[in-house]
Amino acid sequence: MAPDFETPQARPPLGSTPDDPFDDSHGHPADEPPAEFSDLHLHRAEHKAAGPEAVYHAMKKVSREAGLVRGLTILTKVNQAGGFDCPSCAWPDPEPGDRASFEFCENGAKAVAAETTTRRVDRAFFARHSVAELASHGDDWLDAQGRLAEPMALLPGADHYEPIPWDDAFRLIADELDALDSPDEAVFYTSGRTSNEAAFLYQLFVRQYGTNNLPDCSNLCHESSGAALGMSLGVGKGSVRLEDFRQADLILLVGQNPGTNHPRMLTTLQAAVEHGAKLVAINPLKEAGLLAFAHPQHVRGMLGISTTLADTYLQVKINGDQALFRGLCKALFEEEARRPGEVIDRAFVDQSTAGFEEYRRAVGATSWDEIERRGGIDRPRIEALARRAAATDRIICCWAMGLTQHRNAVATIREVVNFLLLRGALGKPGSGVCPVRGHSNVQGDRTMGIWERMPDRWLDRLGAAFDFHPPRHHGFDTVQAISAMHEGRARVFFGLGGNFLSASPDTHYTSEALRRCRLTAQVSTKLNRAHLVTGRTALILPCLGRSERDLQAGGEQFVSVENSMGIVHQSHGPFSPASPHLLSEPAIVARLARAVLGDRSTVRWEWLVEDYDRIRDAIGRVVPGFDDYNARIRRPGGFPLDHPVRDRVFPTPDGKAHFSDAPLGGVEPGPGQLLLMTIRSHDQFNTTIYSRDDRYRGIHNERRVVFLNAEDMADLGVSPQQPVDLTGIDPDSHGRPRVARRFLAIPYDIPRGCAAAYFPEANVLVPIDQTAEVSNTPASKSILITVSPAARPGS
């Protein structure tokens, strides 16, 4: 089916004039925040995280958004038993008895403040601002306008959103879905804040409608972890629990920045250090939150007295981790040769693993030269760490996006598992794998069936419970969905949360994909760029946030979520909704399902949402591990899902854990090229920008910066704070260069050949077709670029 170009929003043919707003050489101007500088102030990078400054910055944001008194009340309810789950990260809460009265962190407080703001984006707001005008603002401005207050529609040809009654909005979506040639021409995206209850209903609706097109933010995030752990261990989730951190001797923190992205993890790490664990950081940047932590809720921390965290810091090259872990394993084999029977856990390896001999040969065939060149860490330092690992089997490896977003991400994570397997450091207290999840319920959404490739036996149970035949052919993941929309194979986009445009790779390509849709509809709490780069018709469907009271016919409801360690627990929003026109996510899904499926559906949609216990009963009948859900979810602190690896059971086809002997891979920059990683600042939550500061890295009031090695800058002839353009090495599929324009060059402590810039500003550089093998996650931390002095704006 040919894409529809007869719309004011669609791109004109190639070759339009440069002063045309649809300047084809750089894509549509609305796609990205304006390439304007603010007013950069540089400070020294910090060497410790949190402390009194964290409280100050949290309170500043909270009182500005929600008011001081209201803000303080709100914060006392975060992550308390009977309160609501912090909408920020997925780090677990301590047992109920162990929780502080303020169980939140600076960045959790900012996320809560952003949701509980008193400002509103209502019909008067949209009457004042055209879509084109809104797009000319930065992403921080868009978010700061407040909570979306009522359903809005952007009709074909219109330049303003207008109010639309809920029923008309559902009818409009139903008509567009009915008009498709096949259900597979619709895409149903999910972001990871969605509750278990909403996610379960959503996938049920989508599968009853007839497709498995359920891409989610996980495809951009920890998909590589799930794939790697599934192949190696048979379970795609982490195996450690909070108590393991108190029992561990050695904790490796690889490719993650917990001081910013999982600040509550620092409390856990501090306790681990106090119990004798040694922490090792593996990261190209010296992140403050890996160096030291001053607990902002303890007297010592408030006085600025900090605990040293990592005692060893390996500043690996970007994407050098597979080589580094191969080196650690090589050093373990060599140590074993010197002390036979003392280093490799042969009993475990022989009994519980497969592929050991092949792996031993692969390690033997990998030279120290290659390991040092690719990883950037020299052999003596690798051997020193290996000796420490040889002395204990209580080893935990933690990681996040620094490992998952590379071409060879799955092989890298499997190499981390190889290291633990050699030491038998799985299924024992104080040991295991800990992929640190991002969104607060991204793991739960997957458990509830948000996946384009749910296994057949899961679909069998779903079909049996609701008396229908779920589609079996796999759906689109996020990257495949973008290409399908671009090529006209998908024509309706529906998003349950998130910001599909700015979170996705290859911004201009993704923008074209969205603009070619007949309809783009998003369930959202806040305004974002995906509301401004739309299909022929667009809908904004505003929903309740986590912090808000959810009243249904059966009374006040709570929802449930699963954290990074597989603990399922309640979340109960205590505050008045931002607007009387908001619906809960489960209610939106149920009413949409009724409008689309009508009497075709075997599900009593309205009845289910009257009382979420009914949804949980249904979940209990379909999802393994959720029997008696309603009783167990009412236990204080919730309940843990079983993790067989904790008992050394590996549910792979042959019941063994598998070594991976993949060759070292990934991209290495050629002469004049750099490898760019796109990372988060301290003041953003994914695509939501709270401010232009990145306090720990010493950046104030600017996001258009690129961190470079000073010697590389000298070689390139670039001076500090000089405006530069970043150009991708791979041309995109139209042969158009990928250029991220106007970034200030910042000399920084980063290995040679490496560079860093913020996401989403640098997403224009992430090629849609450069994805991780197996997981298909965009390689947004392995982007080959060149750096050149900035072209003047407009030239």
Ligand X SMILES: Nc1nc2c(c(=O)[nH]1)N[C@H]1C(S)=C(S)[C@@H](COP(=O)(O)OP(=O)(O)OC[C@H]3O[C@@H](n4cnc5c(=O)[nH]c(N)nc54)[C@H](O)[C@@H]3O)O[C@H]1N2
Q: Among residues 763 and 771, whose Cβ is nearest to ligand X?
A: 763
Q: Binding residue for ligand X (CB under 6 A) from 116, 117, 208, 261?
A: 261
**Burial of 260: CB neighbours in 10 Å, binned 0-12, 13-18, 19+:** buried
Q: Among residues 435 and 767, whose Cβ is nearest to Mo ion?
A: 435
Q: Extract the tokens encoding 579.
A: 């607007």
- What length does the chain have? 795
- CA dist list (Å): 167 to 40, 490, 527, 599: 48, 24, 22, 17
Rounded to whole angstroms, the Cα distance separating 226 from 433 reads 11
To which residue do tokens 């006392």 refer?
Answer: 76
Element (H, E) at 112: helix 106-115
| Total residues binding Mo ion (CB under 5 A) | 2
Q: Which of 614, 230, 272 is nearest to 446 (CA)?
A: 230
543 binds ligand X (CB under 6 A): yes
Q: Which of 523, 571, 506 is nearest to 767 (CA)?
A: 506
* Torsion angle defined by CA atoms of residues 495, 500, 501 and 505, in that order, rounded to the nearest 10 degrees: -150
759 binds ligand X (CB under 6 A): yes
Could you check whether the bond before residue 624 is cis, i.e. omega within 30 degrees of 0?
no
Q: Among residues 327 and 438, whose Cβ is nearest to Mo ion?
A: 438
Output the residue with the shortest Cβ distance to Mo ion: 438
Q: Give the distance, in angstroms, between the CA of residue 320 and the centroid of all CA atoms in the same chain.
A: 21
Q: How far is the CB of 264 from Mo ion (least distance, A)?
A: 16
| Interacting residues with ligand X between 582 and 621 (CB under 6 A) | 585
| Total residues binding ligand X (CB under 6 A) | 61
The piece of 242-250, 464-472, 542-550, 606-614 that touches ligand X (CB under 6 A) is: 542-550
Rounded to whole angstroms, the Cα distance separating 72 from 409 reads 41
**What does 283 interact with, of ligand X, Mo ion, none (CB < 5 to 8 A by kind)?**
ligand X
Q: Among residues 301 and 778, whose Cβ is nearest to Mo ion?
A: 778
Say which amino acid occupies 44: R
Q: Among residues 212 and 441, whose Cβ is nearest to Mo ion?
A: 441
The piece of 206-214, 293-301, 449-457, 496-504 that touches ligand X (CB under 6 A) is: 496-504
Q: Among residues 620 and 669, whose Cβ is nearest to ligand X?
A: 669
Contact 469, 212 (CB under 8 A): no
Determine the angle formed by the axes of helices 478-486 and 507-515, rounding to 10 degrees.
60
Element (H, E) at 190: strand 186-190
Q: Among residues 545 and 638, whose Cβ is nearest to ligand X?
A: 545
Q: What are phi and psi of 366, to 5 degrees?
A: -95, 125
Q: What is the DSSP string of 221-266?
A: TTHHHHHHHHHHHS-SS----HHHHHH-SEEEEES--HHHH-HHHH
Say which amino acid occupies 308: T
Tell me the HSE value of 299 on the side-chain side, using a 13 A CA sphere. Answer: 0
Rounded to whole angstroms, the Cα distance separating 52 from 294 reads 8
**What does 677 interact with, of ligand X, Mo ion, none (CB < 5 to 8 A by kind)?**
ligand X
The piece of 51-59, 106-114, 270-278, 430-438 that touches Mo ion (CB under 5 A) is: 430-438
Q: Among residues 180 and 395, whose Cβ is nearest to ligand X?
A: 395
| The Cα angle at residue 140 between residues 224 and 737, in degrees rounded to 5 | 60
438 binds Mo ion (CB under 5 A): yes
Q: How far is the CB of 439 from Mo ion (least distance, A)?
A: 6
Q: Which of 525, 459, 514, 468 is nearest to 492 (CA)?
A: 514
58 binds Mo ion (CB under 5 A): no
**What does 107 interact with, of ligand X, Mo ion, none (CB < 5 to 8 A by kind)?**
ligand X
The piece of 300-308, 400-408, 457-465, 559-567 that touches ligand X (CB under 6 A) is: 400-408
| Interacting residues with ligand X between 179 and 208 (CB under 6 A) | 191-193
545 binds ligand X (CB under 6 A): yes
Rounded to whole angstroms, the Cα distance separating 170 from 58 reads 38
Q: Among residues 85 and 150, whose Cβ is nearest to Mo ion?
A: 85
Q: Binding residue for ligand X (CB under 6 A) from 688, 691, 709, 771?
A: 688
Q: Give the distance, in angstroms, between the CA of residue 795 and the centroid of all CA atoms in the same chain.
A: 35
Say which amino acid occupies 276: G
Reduced to 3 states (helix: H, G, I; strand: E, B; else coil), residue 107 is: helix
Q: Is the dihedral of CA 259, 265, 271, 277 positive or negative?
A: negative
Tell me the HSE value of 636 on the side-chain side, using a 13 A CA sphere. Answer: 8
Reduced to 3 states (helix: H, G, I; strand: E, B; else coil), residue 466 is: helix
Q: How far is the CB of 99 from ligand X (least distance, A)?
A: 20
Rounded to whole angstroms, the Cα distance separating 633 from 793 reads 56
Q: How far is the CB of 67 from ligand X (least distance, A)?
A: 20
Q: Which of 640, 514, 572 is nearest to 187 (CA)?
A: 514
| Interacting residues with ligand X between 32 and 91 (CB under 6 A) | 87-89
Q: Among residues 262 and 632, whose Cβ is nearest to ligand X?
A: 262
Q: Extract the tokens encoding 394.
A: 């209580």
Q: Binding residue for ligand X (CB under 6 A) from 50, 153, 285, 397?
A: 285
Question: Whole-angstrom distance between the N-terminal and C-terminal Cα of the chain?
Answer: 37
563 binds ligand X (CB under 6 A): no
**What does 431 interact with, of Mo ion, ligand X, none (CB < 5 to 8 A by kind)?**
none
**What does 89 interact with, of Mo ion, ligand X, none (CB < 5 to 8 A by kind)?**
ligand X
Q: How far is the CB of 463 from ligand X (least distance, A)?
A: 27
**What does 57 interact with, of ligand X, Mo ion, none (CB < 5 to 8 A by kind)?**
none
Site pattern 509..528 for ligand X (x: CB under 6 A): --------------xxxx-x
539 binds ligand X (CB under 6 A): no
Exposure b/e, 109-146, CB count within 10 A at least 16 = b: bbbbbbbbbeeebbbebbeebebeebbebbbbebbbbb
Reduced to 3 states (helix: H, G, I; strand: E, B; else coil), residue 213 is: coil
Q: Binding residue for ligand X (CB under 6 A) from 131, 199, 282, 521?
A: 282
Q: Binding residue for ligand X (CB under 6 A) from 103, 184, 321, 761?
A: 321
Q: How far is the CB of 437 from Mo ion (least distance, A)?
A: 7
Contact 333, 342 (CB under 8 A): no
**What does 699 interact with, of ligand X, Mo ion, none (CB < 5 to 8 A by kind)?**
none
Q: How far is the CB of 263 from Mo ion (least distance, A)?
A: 16
Q: Binding residue for ligand X (CB under 6 A) from 49, 134, 173, 217?
A: 217
**What does 680 interact with, of Mo ion, ligand X, none (CB < 5 to 8 A by kind)?**
ligand X
**What does 382 interact with, of Mo ion, ligand X, none (CB < 5 to 8 A by kind)?**
none
760 binds Mo ion (CB under 5 A): no
Contact 495, 112 (CB under 8 A): no
Q: Among residues 54 and 459, whose Cβ is nearest to ligand X?
A: 54
149 binds ligand X (CB under 6 A): no
Q: Among residues 395 and 400, whose Cβ is nearest to Mo ion?
A: 400
Rounded to whole angstroms, the Cα distance separating 395 from 110 reads 33
**What does 321 interact with, of Mo ion, ligand X, none (CB < 5 to 8 A by kind)?**
ligand X
Q: Binding residue for ligand X (CB under 6 A) from 497, 535, 665, 728?
A: 497
**Burial of 466: CB neighbours in 10 Å, binned 0-12, 13-18, 19+:** middle
569 binds ligand X (CB under 6 A): no
The piece of 252-260, 431-439, 545-553, 633-641 that touches Mo ion (CB under 5 A) is: 431-439
Q: Binding residue for ligand X (CB under 6 A) from 149, 154, 279, 318?
A: 318
221 binds Mo ion (CB under 5 A): yes
Residues forming contacts to ligand X in the complex (CB under 6 A) are 87-89, 107, 191-193, 217, 220-221, 254-257, 260-262, 282-285, 287, 316, 318-319, 321, 400-402, 405, 438-439, 496-500, 503, 523-526, 528, 543, 545-546, 585, 677-680, 684-688, 759, 763, 766, 780-781
Binding residues for Mo ion, per CB under 5 A? 221, 438
